[in-house]
Homo-oligomer: A and B are copies of this chain.
């Protein structure tokens, strides 16, 4: 059976939504996926307008995700969507994901996976029962140099891991901007849409996921200081967490949305017995390896000395910077390659399978629940 482009539907991502547009660019970049339908807004008129701006045929633009699931499922197999990408706020992750899986559609889902841990555990069950694919868009694990960082750790070149620093400082919520024009700020600071956590849910989970992904370790307990700094805000906008990992290593996780003047510089440092590594999103194509007894080395996207994982996730030669959208597209590309292989009955390469899924989603939701709990208690350590 010949390979073919995959057909994607989208839930959410109406006009003005930041992340929906990002998902579409990422899905489109490598020519493996066509957007064929969408329920872009709970307001049918808005959904229609978005569909038109995306040059979609009117009959594939739906007024609700329920309608979309039903009508797409009813289309002939060679027309209906293969998978759905869900890019709504957190409170609207679970329902469309569940419905899609029940209708037999694979799912790409924005993070954090669900509104709360309970939904996450339920979704995990549904995914496992369905046998379908779920890709959770922890974007930062899509960077070639993040993949390389993981491979360096797994190779043992750093020795046993002892220390992890991961940080995610932003400044965009330094003022009380919610309640105005900024849709991003509005839902992310709203407990009814975001869940029990603000900063920790939005970016703390990215940092947490990055730490576990790069090290291959699991956090087993934590001690958090969780703050709501801006007066009148309803969720946390800042926090720091002491970590302990399952191999005995320790770490620190810092996330803030009130680090005024900071953009989005997610950064991780990992130290083992023999050396350390450092990666930060601002210089995403560089990975520092620092050695105890040798000069430091700088690995570069597309450069010499890289694993098959970094190479597979790179599009252009060294010195042509790849950015956030390419990292995001790597998630879609690996998901699509895996799905194509499944459709063709072939075995996917290990590099294709390296995208975050439902297990990472459950870890993230558990982190959110525990870190918020820790922020409120006088007990020093909370188990994860």
Q: Is A213 an interface residue (CB 8 A)?
A: no
| Smallest beta-carbon distance A253→chain B, Å | 10
Supposing A4-B55, A171-B271 touch, asked if A163 and B292 sit within 8 A by C-beta, the answer is: no
- Choose one: B223, B240, B276, B297; the contact of A171 (CB below 8 Å): B276
Supposing A21-B315, A295-B304, A300-B263 touch, asked if A254 and B165 sit within 8 A by C-beta, the answer is: yes
User: Which residue of B is nearest A322, CB measured?
Assistant: B323
Q: Is A261 an interface residue (CB 8 A)?
A: yes
Contact with B along A292-310 (1 / 0, CB 8 A): 1111111110111100000
Q: Is A28 an interface residue (CB 8 A)?
A: yes
Supposing A29-B25, A319-B282 touch, asked if A272 and B298 sit within 8 A by C-beta, the answer is: no
Chain B residues positioned under 8 Å from A171 (CB to CB): 271, 276, 290, 292
Residue contact B319 to A281, C-beta cutoff 8 Å: yes
Residue contact B300 to A264, C-beta cutoff 8 Å: no
Q: Is A338 an interface residue (CB 8 A)?
A: no
| Smallest beta-carbon distance A26→chain B, Å | 10
Cα of A275 to Cα of B175 in the assembled complex, Å: 11
Supposing A31-B24, A258-B271, A324-B322 touch, asked if A303 and B263 sit within 8 A by C-beta, the answer is: yes
Residue contact A264 to B319, C-beta cutoff 8 Å: yes
- Choose one: B18, B263, B321; the contact of A318 (CB below 8 Å): B263
Chain B residues positioned under 8 Å from A15 (CB to CB): none
Residue contact A264 to B163, C-beta cutoff 8 Å: no
Chain B residues positioned under 8 Å from A234 (CB to CB): none
Residue contact B163 to A258, C-beta cutoff 8 Å: yes
Residue contact A256 to B163, C-beta cutoff 8 Å: yes
Closest 9 pairs (CB-CB, A-B): A261-B290, A264-B319, A263-B319, A323-B323, A320-B324, A321-B323, A261-B276, A295-B297, A263-B318
Binding site for B on A (CB under 8 A): 2-5, 18, 21-22, 24-25, 28-31, 35, 52, 54-55, 158-159, 162-163, 165, 167, 169-172, 174-175, 223, 225, 227, 229, 238, 240, 242, 244, 250-252, 254, 256, 258-265, 269, 271-276, 281-285, 289-300, 302-305, 315-326, 377-381
A sample of 25 inter-chain contacts (CB < 8 A) reads A3-B55, A4-B55, A22-B315, A24-B31, A28-B28, A31-B55, A158-B260, A159-B260, A163-B256, A174-B271, A174-B274, A175-B292, A223-B242, A238-B250, A259-B276, A260-B276, A261-B289, A261-B296, A262-B290, A263-B300, A264-B320, A265-B319, A289-B295, A295-B300, A320-B324
A5-B55, A22-B316, A25-B30 given; name 13 further pairs at CB < 8 Å. Answer: A18-B317, A24-B31, A172-B317, A225-B242, A261-B275, A282-B319, A282-B321, A294-B304, A295-B304, A295-B305, A320-B324, A320-B325, A321-B324
